[in-house]
Chain A
Protein backbone atom coordinates (compact mmCIF):
# COMPACT_ATOMS: atom_id res chain seq x y z
CA UNK A 1 0.00 0.00 0.00
CA UNK A 2 3.03 2.16 0.33
CA UNK A 3 3.26 1.98 -3.46
CA UNK A 4 -0.30 3.17 -3.85
CA UNK A 5 0.17 6.01 -1.40
CA UNK A 6 3.27 7.12 -3.21
CA UNK A 7 1.61 6.83 -6.58
CA UNK A 8 -1.22 9.07 -5.49
CA UNK A 9 1.12 11.55 -3.88
CA UNK A 10 3.43 11.68 -6.88
CA UNK A 11 0.53 11.97 -9.29
CA UNK A 12 -1.03 14.81 -7.35
CA UNK A 13 2.27 16.67 -7.26
CA UNK A 14 2.73 16.12 -10.97
CA UNK A 15 -0.82 17.10 -11.84
CA UNK A 16 -0.68 20.38 -10.02
CA UNK A 17 2.38 21.47 -11.92
CA UNK A 18 2.68 22.12 -15.59
CA UNK A 19 2.89 24.58 -18.39
CA UNK A 20 0.74 27.68 -18.41
CA UNK A 21 -1.44 26.25 -21.16
CA UNK A 22 -2.19 23.25 -18.95
CA UNK A 23 -3.27 25.43 -16.07
CA UNK A 24 -5.44 27.58 -18.28
CA UNK A 25 -7.06 24.45 -19.73
CA UNK A 26 -7.81 22.98 -16.30
CA UNK A 27 -9.10 26.30 -15.00
CA UNK A 28 -11.37 26.63 -18.01
CA UNK A 29 -12.73 23.13 -17.46
CA UNK A 30 -13.26 23.84 -13.78
CA UNK A 31 -15.21 26.96 -14.65
CA UNK A 32 -17.43 25.01 -17.04
CA UNK A 33 -17.97 22.34 -14.40
CA UNK A 34 -19.07 24.97 -11.92
CA UNK A 35 -21.54 26.35 -14.44
CA UNK A 36 -22.84 22.83 -14.94
CA UNK A 37 -23.15 22.27 -11.22
CA UNK A 38 -25.08 25.47 -10.79
CA UNK A 39 -27.52 24.51 -13.53
CA UNK A 40 -27.87 21.07 -11.99
CA UNK A 41 -28.64 22.58 -8.63
CA UNK A 42 -31.46 24.50 -10.30
CA UNK A 43 -32.69 21.25 -11.69
CA UNK A 44 -32.55 19.50 -8.32
CA UNK A 45 -34.50 22.33 -6.81
CA UNK A 46 -37.21 22.89 -9.41
CA UNK A 47 -37.34 19.49 -11.03
CA UNK A 48 -36.86 18.50 -14.62
CA UNK A 49 -39.39 21.09 -15.74
CA UNK A 50 -36.48 23.46 -16.35
CA UNK A 51 -35.42 21.23 -19.23
CA UNK A 52 -37.20 21.20 -22.57
CA UNK A 53 -38.56 17.70 -22.05
CA UNK A 54 -42.26 17.03 -21.76
CA UNK A 55 -44.64 14.09 -21.47
CA UNK A 56 -44.35 13.31 -25.18
CA UNK A 57 -40.59 13.78 -25.69
CA UNK A 58 -39.44 12.41 -22.38
CA UNK A 59 -35.79 11.86 -23.25
CA UNK A 60 -33.71 14.66 -24.70
CA UNK A 61 -30.22 16.08 -24.62
CA UNK A 62 -29.03 14.09 -21.62
CA UNK A 63 -29.92 10.68 -22.95
CA UNK A 64 -28.69 11.64 -26.42
CA UNK A 65 -25.28 12.39 -24.98
CA UNK A 66 -25.40 9.24 -22.88
CA UNK A 67 -26.08 7.10 -25.95
CA UNK A 68 -23.32 8.75 -27.93
CA UNK A 69 -20.74 8.48 -25.16
CA UNK A 70 -21.38 4.79 -24.58
CA UNK A 71 -20.30 4.37 -28.17
CA UNK A 72 -17.17 6.43 -27.62
CA UNK A 73 -16.32 4.32 -24.59
CA UNK A 74 -16.82 1.13 -26.56
CA UNK A 75 -14.46 2.33 -29.24
CA UNK A 76 -11.45 2.26 -26.95
CA UNK A 77 -11.44 -1.45 -27.49
CA UNK A 78 -10.60 -0.83 -31.11
CA UNK A 79 -7.12 -0.02 -29.93
CA UNK A 80 -6.90 -2.75 -27.34
CA UNK A 81 -7.74 -5.44 -29.85
CA UNK A 82 -4.89 -4.91 -32.29
CA UNK A 83 -2.39 -4.03 -29.58
CA UNK A 84 -2.75 -7.17 -27.56
CA UNK A 85 -4.48 -9.64 -29.77
CA UNK A 86 -2.77 -8.90 -33.03
CA UNK A 87 0.42 -7.98 -31.19
CA UNK A 88 0.74 -4.83 -33.20
CA UNK A 89 3.09 -2.80 -31.08
CA UNK A 90 2.36 0.43 -32.83
CA UNK A 91 -0.91 0.48 -31.01
CA UNK A 92 0.48 -0.15 -27.58
CA UNK A 93 1.20 3.48 -26.86
CA UNK A 94 -2.28 4.47 -27.86
CA UNK A 95 -3.95 1.84 -25.68
CA UNK A 96 -3.56 3.64 -22.40
CA UNK A 97 -4.88 6.83 -23.95
CA UNK A 98 -7.80 4.90 -25.38
CA UNK A 99 -8.64 3.27 -22.09
CA UNK A 100 -8.34 6.59 -20.31
CA UNK A 101 -10.79 7.99 -22.81
CA UNK A 102 -13.11 5.06 -22.19
CA UNK A 103 -13.06 5.73 -18.46
CA UNK A 104 -13.74 9.41 -18.94
CA UNK A 105 -16.56 8.64 -21.37
CA UNK A 106 -18.07 6.14 -18.93
CA UNK A 107 -18.02 8.64 -16.12
CA UNK A 108 -19.75 11.08 -18.41
CA UNK A 109 -22.36 8.43 -19.25
CA UNK A 110 -23.06 7.82 -15.58
CA UNK A 111 -23.26 11.55 -14.97
CA UNK A 112 -25.73 12.02 -17.82
CA UNK A 113 -27.94 9.23 -16.54
CA UNK A 114 -27.97 10.70 -13.06
CA UNK A 115 -28.65 14.18 -14.46
CA UNK A 116 -31.61 12.79 -16.40
CA UNK A 117 -33.18 10.94 -13.48
CA UNK A 118 -36.16 12.40 -11.73
CA UNK A 119 -35.11 11.03 -8.37
CA UNK A 120 -31.31 10.66 -8.15
CA UNK A 121 -31.50 10.32 -4.36
CA UNK A 122 -33.34 7.04 -4.94
CA UNK A 123 -30.63 5.55 -7.10
CA UNK A 124 -29.94 3.01 -4.37
CA UNK A 125 -33.25 1.37 -5.27
CA UNK A 126 -31.39 -0.30 -8.11
CA UNK A 127 -28.77 -2.03 -6.00
CA UNK A 128 -29.55 -5.74 -5.85
CA UNK A 129 -29.88 -6.80 -2.25
CA UNK A 130 -31.10 -3.63 -0.66
CA UNK A 131 -33.21 -2.53 -3.59
CA UNK A 132 -34.92 -4.33 -6.42
CA UNK A 133 -32.92 -5.03 -9.56
CA UNK A 134 -35.26 -5.99 -12.39
CA UNK A 135 -32.80 -8.27 -14.14
CA UNK A 136 -33.11 -9.88 -16.70
CA UNK A 137 -36.37 -8.27 -17.79
CA UNK A 138 -35.35 -4.66 -17.98
CA UNK A 139 -32.67 -3.76 -20.51
CA UNK A 140 -31.71 -0.85 -18.30
CA UNK A 141 -30.44 -3.28 -15.69
CA UNK A 142 -28.38 -5.04 -18.33
CA UNK A 143 -26.96 -1.66 -19.26
CA UNK A 144 -26.12 -0.87 -15.64
CA UNK A 145 -24.27 -4.17 -15.34
CA UNK A 146 -22.30 -3.94 -18.57
CA UNK A 147 -21.39 -0.29 -18.13
CA UNK A 148 -20.16 -0.73 -14.58
CA UNK A 149 -18.34 -3.90 -15.53
CA UNK A 150 -16.67 -2.14 -18.42
CA UNK A 151 -15.72 0.73 -16.15
CA UNK A 152 -14.20 -1.73 -13.72
CA UNK A 153 -12.22 -3.46 -16.46
CA UNK A 154 -10.99 -0.19 -17.93
CA UNK A 155 -9.95 1.08 -14.54
CA UNK A 156 -8.32 -2.08 -13.25
CA UNK A 157 -6.29 -3.21 -16.25
CA UNK A 158 -4.56 0.09 -16.98
CA UNK A 159 -4.20 0.68 -13.25
CA UNK A 160 -2.41 -2.63 -12.90
CA UNK A 161 -0.16 -1.89 -15.87
CA UNK A 162 0.63 1.58 -14.65
CA UNK A 163 1.33 0.64 -11.08
CA UNK A 164 3.77 -1.99 -12.36
CA UNK A 165 5.48 0.49 -14.63
CA UNK A 166 5.52 2.99 -11.79
CA UNK A 167 7.58 0.57 -9.80
CA UNK A 168 9.77 -0.09 -12.80
CA UNK A 169 8.44 -3.65 -13.05
CA UNK A 170 7.12 -5.35 -16.14
CA UNK A 171 3.36 -6.07 -15.97
CA UNK A 172 2.57 -9.79 -16.10
CA UNK A 173 0.75 -10.68 -19.33
CA UNK A 174 -0.96 -13.60 -17.61
CA UNK A 175 -2.86 -11.12 -15.47
CA UNK A 176 -3.85 -8.51 -17.95
CA UNK A 177 -4.32 -10.48 -21.17
CA UNK A 178 -7.53 -12.28 -20.01
CA UNK A 179 -8.89 -8.90 -18.97
CA UNK A 180 -8.03 -7.51 -22.36
CA UNK A 181 -9.88 -10.33 -24.10
CA UNK A 182 -12.93 -9.88 -21.94
CA UNK A 183 -12.88 -6.16 -22.54
CA UNK A 184 -12.99 -6.70 -26.29
CA UNK A 185 -16.21 -8.66 -26.06
CA UNK A 186 -17.47 -6.41 -23.35
CA UNK A 187 -17.04 -3.30 -25.45
CA UNK A 188 -19.26 -4.76 -28.16
CA UNK A 189 -21.68 -5.79 -25.43
CA UNK A 190 -22.00 -2.35 -23.87
CA UNK A 191 -23.00 -0.70 -27.05
CA UNK A 192 -25.22 -3.51 -28.22
CA UNK A 193 -27.03 -3.53 -24.89
CA UNK A 194 -27.46 0.23 -25.03
CA UNK A 195 -28.90 -0.18 -28.51
CA UNK A 196 -31.25 -2.89 -27.24
CA UNK A 197 -32.63 -0.40 -24.73
CA UNK A 198 -34.27 1.37 -27.64
CA UNK A 199 -34.57 -1.53 -30.04
CA UNK A 200 -36.77 -3.51 -27.66
CA UNK A 201 -39.57 -0.94 -27.41
CA UNK A 202 -42.42 -2.01 -29.64
CA UNK A 203 -44.06 1.31 -28.89
CA UNK A 204 -41.46 3.29 -30.87
CA UNK A 205 -41.31 2.08 -34.47
CA UNK A 206 -38.44 4.42 -35.32
CA UNK A 207 -36.20 2.41 -33.00
CA UNK A 208 -37.86 -0.97 -33.21
CA UNK A 209 -35.87 -2.34 -36.13
CA UNK A 210 -33.12 -4.92 -36.45
CA UNK A 211 -30.49 -2.53 -37.70
CA UNK A 212 -30.30 -0.27 -34.67
CA UNK A 213 -27.73 -2.35 -32.76
CA UNK A 214 -25.34 -2.82 -35.68
CA UNK A 215 -25.76 0.85 -36.61
CA UNK A 216 -24.78 1.84 -33.09
CA UNK A 217 -21.66 -0.28 -33.31
CA UNK A 218 -20.66 1.10 -36.69
CA UNK A 219 -21.12 4.73 -35.67
CA UNK A 220 -19.35 4.12 -32.35
CA UNK A 221 -16.33 2.65 -34.05
CA UNK A 222 -16.26 5.63 -36.34
CA UNK A 223 -16.71 8.34 -33.73
CA UNK A 224 -14.65 6.89 -30.88
CA UNK A 225 -11.38 6.36 -32.70
CA UNK A 226 -11.83 9.75 -34.40
CA UNK A 227 -11.77 11.33 -30.99
CA UNK A 228 -8.76 9.23 -30.08
CA UNK A 229 -6.93 10.48 -33.15
CA UNK A 230 -7.71 14.08 -32.24
CA UNK A 231 -6.61 13.50 -28.65
CA UNK A 232 -3.39 11.86 -29.81
CA UNK A 233 -2.75 14.88 -32.01
CA UNK A 234 -3.13 17.13 -28.96
CA UNK A 235 -0.86 14.90 -26.88
CA UNK A 236 1.76 14.97 -29.62
CA UNK A 237 1.67 18.73 -29.63
CA UNK A 238 1.70 19.37 -25.91
CA UNK A 239 3.75 16.55 -24.43
CA UNK A 240 6.92 14.67 -25.23
CA UNK A 241 5.05 11.38 -25.46
CA UNK A 242 6.13 9.71 -28.66
CA UNK A 243 3.28 8.64 -30.92
CA UNK A 244 4.29 7.52 -34.34
CA UNK A 245 2.55 8.52 -37.52
CA UNK A 246 1.79 4.96 -38.41
CA UNK A 247 -0.18 4.45 -35.17
CA UNK A 248 -2.43 7.29 -36.08
CA UNK A 249 -2.73 6.11 -39.65
CA UNK A 250 -3.72 2.64 -38.54
CA UNK A 251 -6.43 4.03 -36.29
CA UNK A 252 -7.56 6.10 -39.25
CA UNK A 253 -8.07 2.89 -41.21
CA UNK A 254 -10.42 1.67 -38.51
CA UNK A 255 -12.34 4.93 -38.64
CA UNK A 256 -12.60 4.76 -42.40
CA UNK A 257 -14.05 1.28 -42.52
CA UNK A 258 -16.48 2.03 -39.71
CA UNK A 259 -17.60 5.28 -41.36
CA UNK A 260 -18.21 3.47 -44.64
CA UNK A 261 -20.27 0.77 -42.97
CA UNK A 262 -22.17 3.50 -41.13
CA UNK A 263 -23.09 5.11 -44.44
CA UNK A 264 -24.23 1.83 -45.93
CA UNK A 265 -26.47 1.29 -42.92
CA UNK A 266 -27.84 4.80 -43.28
CA UNK A 267 -28.76 4.06 -46.88
CA UNK A 268 -30.48 0.88 -45.77
CA UNK A 269 -32.52 2.80 -43.21
CA UNK A 270 -33.49 5.50 -45.67
CA UNK A 271 -34.60 2.89 -48.16
CA UNK A 272 -36.78 1.10 -45.64
CA UNK A 273 -38.46 4.30 -44.48
CA UNK A 274 -39.00 6.00 -47.80
CA UNK A 275 -39.40 3.34 -50.47
CA UNK A 276 -42.81 2.18 -49.20
CA UNK A 277 -43.66 4.55 -46.39
CA UNK A 278 -46.06 3.34 -43.77
CA UNK A 279 -47.55 4.94 -40.70
CA UNK A 280 -44.36 3.89 -38.94
CA UNK A 281 -42.27 6.07 -41.22
CA UNK A 282 -43.72 9.25 -39.78
CA UNK A 283 -40.77 9.73 -37.43
CA UNK A 284 -38.35 9.50 -40.33
CA UNK A 285 -40.40 11.98 -42.31
CA UNK A 286 -40.39 14.37 -39.36
CA UNK A 287 -36.63 14.05 -39.03
CA UNK A 288 -35.60 14.36 -42.66
CA UNK A 289 -38.30 16.48 -44.20
CA UNK A 290 -40.50 17.86 -41.48
CA UNK A 291 -44.06 16.81 -40.78
CA UNK A 292 -47.17 18.99 -40.84
CA UNK A 293 -45.05 22.10 -40.87
CA UNK A 294 -42.89 21.05 -37.91
CA UNK A 295 -39.27 20.85 -39.01
CA UNK A 296 -36.96 21.83 -36.17
CA UNK A 297 -34.63 18.88 -36.65
CA UNK A 298 -34.34 19.00 -40.43
CA UNK A 299 -31.31 21.34 -40.61
CA UNK A 300 -29.57 19.31 -37.91
CA UNK A 301 -29.87 15.94 -39.61
CA UNK A 302 -28.87 17.19 -43.02
CA UNK A 303 -25.82 18.92 -41.55
CA UNK A 304 -24.92 15.71 -39.78
CA UNK A 305 -25.34 13.58 -42.89
CA UNK A 306 -23.33 15.94 -45.07
CA UNK A 307 -20.57 15.97 -42.47
CA UNK A 308 -20.57 12.17 -42.36
CA UNK A 309 -20.53 11.83 -46.13
CA UNK A 310 -17.77 14.39 -46.62
CA UNK A 311 -15.68 12.84 -43.87
CA UNK A 312 -16.16 9.34 -45.27
CA UNK A 313 -15.16 10.46 -48.75
CA UNK A 314 -12.07 12.21 -47.45
CA UNK A 315 -11.09 9.17 -45.42
CA UNK A 316 -11.58 6.80 -48.31
CA UNK A 317 -8.85 8.38 -50.36
CA UNK A 318 -5.43 7.24 -49.15
CA UNK A 319 -3.77 10.47 -50.19
CA UNK A 320 -6.17 12.56 -48.17
CA UNK A 321 -6.29 10.25 -45.20
CA UNK A 322 -2.55 10.05 -44.91
CA UNK A 323 -2.24 13.81 -44.80
CA UNK A 324 -2.50 14.27 -41.07
CA UNK A 325 -3.99 17.74 -41.08
CA UNK A 326 -6.75 16.74 -43.46
CA UNK A 327 -7.24 13.63 -41.36
CA UNK A 328 -7.75 15.69 -38.23
CA UNK A 329 -10.32 17.83 -40.00
CA UNK A 330 -12.17 14.77 -41.29
CA UNK A 331 -12.15 13.18 -37.85
CA UNK A 332 -13.48 16.34 -36.26
CA UNK A 333 -16.43 16.69 -38.61
CA UNK A 334 -17.12 12.97 -38.45
CA UNK A 335 -17.21 13.12 -34.66
CA UNK A 336 -19.58 16.08 -34.64
CA UNK A 337 -21.73 14.60 -37.40
CA UNK A 338 -22.17 11.32 -35.56
CA UNK A 339 -22.84 13.17 -32.32
CA UNK A 340 -25.73 15.01 -33.97
CA UNK A 341 -26.98 11.88 -35.69
CA UNK A 342 -27.04 9.74 -32.58
CA UNK A 343 -28.48 12.45 -30.43
CA UNK A 344 -30.96 14.69 -32.17
CA UNK A 345 -31.13 12.33 -35.09
CA UNK A 346 -32.08 9.26 -33.10
CA UNK A 347 -33.41 9.85 -29.61
CA UNK A 348 -35.64 12.85 -30.21
CA UNK A 349 -37.34 11.67 -33.45
CA UNK A 350 -38.15 8.37 -31.75
CA UNK A 351 -40.69 10.27 -29.69
CA UNK A 352 -42.10 12.36 -32.51
CA UNK A 353 -44.89 11.98 -33.41
CA UNK A 354 -46.28 10.85 -30.06
CA UNK A 355 -48.27 7.63 -29.65
CA UNK A 356 -51.45 9.33 -30.85
CA UNK A 357 -49.85 11.09 -33.75
CA UNK A 358 -49.37 14.53 -32.25
CA UNK A 359 -46.15 16.45 -32.71
CA UNK A 360 -44.73 18.22 -29.70
CA UNK A 361 -41.27 19.43 -30.65
CA UNK A 362 -38.31 19.45 -28.34
CA UNK A 363 -35.44 21.82 -27.92
CA UNK A 364 -33.08 21.91 -24.95
CA UNK A 365 -33.23 24.86 -22.58
CA UNK A 366 -30.25 26.88 -21.40
CA UNK A 367 -30.10 25.03 -18.09
CA UNK A 368 -30.06 21.70 -19.89
CA UNK A 369 -27.24 22.84 -22.14
CA UNK A 370 -25.42 24.14 -19.08
CA UNK A 371 -25.52 20.79 -17.34
CA UNK A 372 -24.44 19.05 -20.54
CA UNK A 373 -21.46 21.33 -21.01
CA UNK A 374 -20.57 20.85 -17.36
CA UNK A 375 -20.55 17.09 -17.77
CA UNK A 376 -18.47 17.24 -20.95
CA UNK A 377 -16.02 19.47 -19.09
CA UNK A 378 -15.96 16.93 -16.27
CA UNK A 379 -15.12 14.22 -18.79
CA UNK A 380 -12.36 16.27 -20.32
CA UNK A 381 -11.05 16.99 -16.82
CA UNK A 382 -10.99 13.32 -15.86
CA UNK A 383 -9.36 12.42 -19.13
CA UNK A 384 -6.73 15.10 -18.78
CA UNK A 385 -5.83 13.80 -15.34
CA UNK A 386 -5.71 10.17 -16.42
CA UNK A 387 -3.85 10.82 -19.65
CA UNK A 388 -1.30 13.09 -18.07
CA UNK A 389 -0.58 10.67 -15.23
CA UNK A 390 -0.51 7.69 -17.58
CA UNK A 391 1.87 9.38 -19.97
CA UNK A 392 4.08 10.50 -17.13
CA UNK A 393 4.34 6.99 -15.77
CA UNK A 394 4.95 5.51 -19.21
CA UNK A 395 7.72 8.00 -19.88
CA UNK A 396 9.23 7.39 -16.48
CA UNK A 397 8.71 10.94 -15.24
CA UNK A 398 6.88 9.58 -12.21
CA UNK A 399 8.82 6.78 -10.66
CA UNK A 400 8.45 4.93 -7.42
CA UNK A 401 11.28 5.79 -5.12
CA UNK A 402 11.64 3.49 -2.17
Chain B
Protein backbone atom coordinates (compact mmCIF):
# COMPACT_ATOMS: atom_id res chain seq x y z
CA UNK B 1 0.00 0.00 0.00
CA UNK B 2 2.79 2.32 0.98
CA UNK B 3 4.45 1.71 -2.36
CA UNK B 4 1.26 2.46 -4.24
CA UNK B 5 0.79 5.72 -2.38
CA UNK B 6 4.38 6.66 -3.05
CA UNK B 7 3.98 5.99 -6.75
CA UNK B 8 0.77 8.01 -7.01
CA UNK B 9 2.38 10.92 -5.20
CA UNK B 10 5.32 10.73 -7.56
CA UNK B 11 3.10 10.87 -10.63
CA UNK B 12 1.10 13.77 -9.22
CA UNK B 13 4.27 15.65 -8.46
CA UNK B 14 5.54 15.12 -11.98
CA UNK B 15 2.33 16.29 -13.62
CA UNK B 16 2.14 19.40 -11.50
CA UNK B 17 5.73 20.21 -12.07
CA UNK B 18 5.74 19.66 -15.77
CA UNK B 19 3.82 22.69 -16.98
CA UNK B 20 5.79 24.63 -19.55
CA UNK B 21 7.13 28.05 -18.75
CA UNK B 22 4.48 30.73 -18.83
CA UNK B 23 4.32 32.25 -22.26
CA UNK B 24 3.63 35.90 -22.89
CA UNK B 25 0.06 37.08 -22.56
CA UNK B 26 -0.44 37.74 -26.26
CA UNK B 27 -2.36 35.31 -28.37
CA UNK B 28 -0.54 36.24 -31.54
CA UNK B 29 2.05 38.68 -32.83
CA UNK B 30 -0.44 41.26 -34.10
CA UNK B 31 -1.98 41.64 -30.64
CA UNK B 32 1.49 42.03 -29.21
CA UNK B 33 2.43 44.69 -31.75
CA UNK B 34 -0.73 46.65 -31.12
CA UNK B 35 -0.30 46.52 -27.37
CA UNK B 36 3.34 47.56 -27.41
CA UNK B 37 3.03 50.22 -30.11
CA UNK B 38 0.97 52.41 -27.85
CA UNK B 39 4.05 53.09 -25.80
CA UNK B 40 6.08 53.95 -28.87
CA UNK B 41 7.14 57.53 -29.34
CA UNK B 42 8.98 58.73 -32.40
CA UNK B 43 10.63 62.12 -32.51
CA UNK B 44 9.55 64.42 -35.29
CA UNK B 45 12.93 65.71 -36.32
CA UNK B 46 15.13 64.54 -39.10
CA UNK B 47 17.77 62.11 -37.88
CA UNK B 48 20.13 60.38 -40.22
CA UNK B 49 23.90 60.09 -40.19
CA UNK B 50 24.46 59.13 -43.79
CA UNK B 51 22.88 62.10 -45.51
CA UNK B 52 22.89 65.86 -45.03
CA UNK B 53 19.44 67.38 -45.01
CA UNK B 54 20.62 69.78 -47.69
CA UNK B 55 20.94 66.94 -50.16
CA UNK B 56 17.45 65.63 -49.49
CA UNK B 57 13.94 66.50 -50.57
CA UNK B 58 10.79 65.66 -48.66
CA UNK B 59 8.14 63.72 -50.47
CA UNK B 60 5.03 64.23 -48.42
CA UNK B 61 4.61 67.84 -47.31
CA UNK B 62 5.82 68.53 -43.80
CA UNK B 63 6.56 64.86 -43.23
CA UNK B 64 10.07 64.72 -41.72
CA UNK B 65 10.21 60.96 -42.04
CA UNK B 66 10.35 60.31 -45.77
CA UNK B 67 12.98 61.77 -48.04
CA UNK B 68 14.53 61.25 -51.43
CA UNK B 69 17.84 62.56 -52.68
CA UNK B 70 17.94 65.74 -54.73
CA UNK B 71 17.68 64.53 -58.31
CA UNK B 72 18.89 67.55 -60.17
CA UNK B 73 22.40 67.33 -58.71
CA UNK B 74 22.63 63.73 -59.96
CA UNK B 75 21.68 64.42 -63.56
CA UNK B 76 24.82 64.80 -65.63
CA UNK B 77 23.77 67.60 -67.88
CA UNK B 78 21.15 69.56 -65.98
CA UNK B 79 19.97 72.28 -66.67
CA UNK B 80 18.84 71.26 -70.12
CA UNK B 81 18.41 74.84 -71.29
CA UNK B 82 22.15 75.39 -71.04
CA UNK B 83 22.40 73.48 -74.28
CA UNK B 84 18.87 73.41 -75.53
CA UNK B 85 18.12 77.01 -76.41
CA UNK B 86 16.33 75.87 -79.51
CA UNK B 87 13.33 73.56 -79.71
CA UNK B 88 14.07 69.86 -80.22
CA UNK B 89 12.28 69.82 -83.57
CA UNK B 90 14.56 72.56 -84.85
CA UNK B 91 17.64 70.80 -83.53
CA UNK B 92 16.67 67.62 -85.28
CA UNK B 93 16.29 69.40 -88.63
CA UNK B 94 19.75 71.00 -88.35
CA UNK B 95 22.42 68.55 -89.31
CA UNK B 96 24.43 68.68 -86.10
CA UNK B 97 25.71 65.11 -86.09
CA UNK B 98 25.75 62.84 -83.03
CA UNK B 99 25.50 65.15 -80.01
CA UNK B 100 24.61 64.11 -76.45
CA UNK B 101 21.76 61.61 -76.17
CA UNK B 102 21.16 61.72 -79.90
CA UNK B 103 20.24 58.05 -79.90
CA UNK B 104 17.75 58.00 -77.07
CA UNK B 105 15.08 55.44 -77.81
CA UNK B 106 11.81 55.53 -76.00
CA UNK B 107 10.86 51.97 -75.02
CA UNK B 108 8.17 52.89 -72.54
CA UNK B 109 4.55 51.93 -73.27
CA UNK B 110 3.47 52.23 -76.92
CA UNK B 111 3.50 55.21 -79.29
CA UNK B 112 -0.18 55.88 -78.64
CA UNK B 113 0.63 56.40 -74.96
CA UNK B 114 4.11 57.86 -74.83
CA UNK B 115 6.31 60.08 -76.87
CA UNK B 116 9.05 62.54 -75.91
CA UNK B 117 6.47 65.27 -75.56
CA UNK B 118 4.46 63.22 -73.02
CA UNK B 119 6.93 64.35 -70.37
CA UNK B 120 9.07 67.11 -71.89
CA UNK B 121 7.91 70.44 -73.31
CA UNK B 122 10.25 71.54 -75.99
CA UNK B 123 10.25 75.14 -74.88
CA UNK B 124 10.87 74.32 -71.21
CA UNK B 125 13.40 71.52 -71.06
CA UNK B 126 14.46 72.41 -67.50
CA UNK B 127 11.27 70.94 -66.11
CA UNK B 128 9.04 67.98 -66.72
CA UNK B 129 5.43 68.50 -67.65
CA UNK B 130 2.29 66.70 -66.64
CA UNK B 131 -0.56 65.58 -68.91
CA UNK B 132 -2.38 68.80 -68.15
CA UNK B 133 0.66 70.90 -68.99
CA UNK B 134 1.61 71.72 -65.40
CA UNK B 135 5.26 71.99 -64.38
CA UNK B 136 6.90 69.15 -62.47
CA UNK B 137 10.33 69.78 -61.00
CA UNK B 138 12.96 67.18 -61.78
CA UNK B 139 13.43 66.67 -58.04
CA UNK B 140 9.83 65.56 -57.78
CA UNK B 141 9.75 63.47 -60.93
CA UNK B 142 7.76 60.80 -59.14
CA UNK B 143 4.72 62.98 -59.59
CA UNK B 144 5.05 62.41 -63.31
CA UNK B 145 5.27 58.64 -62.92
CA UNK B 146 2.22 58.78 -60.65
CA UNK B 147 0.04 59.92 -63.52
CA UNK B 148 -0.02 56.40 -64.92
CA UNK B 149 1.57 54.41 -62.14
CA UNK B 150 -0.46 55.75 -59.26
CA UNK B 151 -0.65 52.42 -57.47
CA UNK B 152 3.11 51.92 -57.53
CA UNK B 153 3.76 55.46 -56.29
CA UNK B 154 1.28 54.98 -53.47
CA UNK B 155 3.10 51.78 -52.52
CA UNK B 156 6.39 53.64 -52.76
CA UNK B 157 5.24 56.37 -50.41
CA UNK B 158 4.11 53.77 -47.92
CA UNK B 159 7.29 51.73 -48.21
CA UNK B 160 6.23 48.60 -50.07
CA UNK B 161 7.82 49.59 -53.36
CA UNK B 162 11.28 50.82 -54.08
CA UNK B 163 14.56 50.77 -52.23
CA UNK B 164 15.27 52.07 -48.78
CA UNK B 165 18.80 53.45 -48.57
CA UNK B 166 18.75 54.79 -45.04
CA UNK B 167 18.35 51.84 -42.72
CA UNK B 168 15.34 51.06 -40.58
CA UNK B 169 15.90 53.30 -37.62
CA UNK B 170 16.21 56.86 -38.86
CA UNK B 171 14.04 58.93 -41.10
CA UNK B 172 13.48 57.03 -44.28
CA UNK B 173 15.42 57.91 -47.39
CA UNK B 174 14.29 56.03 -50.48
CA UNK B 175 15.54 55.91 -54.00
CA UNK B 176 13.61 57.99 -56.49
CA UNK B 177 11.76 56.13 -59.23
CA UNK B 178 14.31 56.98 -61.89
CA UNK B 179 17.20 55.73 -59.80
CA UNK B 180 16.03 52.17 -60.54
CA UNK B 181 13.83 52.62 -63.60
CA UNK B 182 15.35 54.44 -66.58
CA UNK B 183 12.40 56.58 -67.64
CA UNK B 184 13.14 56.03 -71.30
CA UNK B 185 13.57 52.26 -70.93
CA UNK B 186 12.20 51.24 -67.57
CA UNK B 187 12.12 47.45 -67.87
CA UNK B 188 14.82 45.26 -66.26
CA UNK B 189 17.08 43.02 -68.24
CA UNK B 190 17.21 39.34 -67.53
CA UNK B 191 20.37 38.10 -65.90
CA UNK B 192 21.85 35.00 -64.31
CA UNK B 193 21.58 34.25 -60.58
CA UNK B 194 24.47 35.25 -58.37
CA UNK B 195 25.27 31.73 -57.19
CA UNK B 196 24.76 28.03 -57.71
CA UNK B 197 24.91 25.78 -54.67
CA UNK B 198 26.57 22.56 -55.80
CA UNK B 199 26.56 21.11 -52.26
CA UNK B 200 22.78 21.17 -52.11
CA UNK B 201 22.62 19.52 -55.51
CA UNK B 202 25.01 16.78 -54.33
CA UNK B 203 22.95 16.05 -51.25
CA UNK B 204 19.88 15.46 -53.37
CA UNK B 205 21.41 12.98 -55.77
Contact = CB atoms under 8 A, between A and B. Distances in A.
A185 B7 contact: yes
Contact of A137 (B2, B17, B21, B200): B21
A182 B4 CA distance: 9
Given A358-B204, A360-B203, A136 B19 contact: yes
Nearest to A146: B14
Contacts of B10: 182, 185
A185 B6 CA distance: 11
A114 to B, nearest CB: 26
Interface in B6-48: 6-7, 10-11, 17-21
Contacts, number: 30
Nearest to B204: A360
Given A136-B19, A185-B10, A185-B11, A178 B203 contact: no
B88 to A, nearest CB: 54
B10 to A, nearest CB: 7
By secondary structure, the A interface counts as loop
B3 interface: yes
Interface string A175-197: 00110011001000000000000
Given A54-B203, A185-B10, A360-B203, A178 B3 contact: yes
A15 B20 CA distance: 48
A291 to B, nearest CB: 12
A56 interface: yes
Given A136-B17, A137-B20, A182 B204 contact: no
A295 to B, nearest CB: 14
A181 B11 contact: no
A331 B89 CA distance: 98
Contacts of B11: 185
A359 interface: yes
Interface of B: 2-4, 6-7, 10-11, 17-21, 200, 203-204
Given A56-B203, A181-B6, 13 more contacts: A54-B203, A136-B17, A136-B19, A137-B21, A178-B3, A181-B3, A182-B10, A185-B7, A359-B204, A360-B200, A360-B203, A360-B204, A361-B204
17 contacts: A54-B203, A136-B18, A136-B21, A137-B20, A137-B21, A178-B2, A178-B3, A178-B6, A181-B3, A181-B7, A182-B6, A182-B7, A182-B10, A185-B7, A358-B204, A359-B204, A360-B203
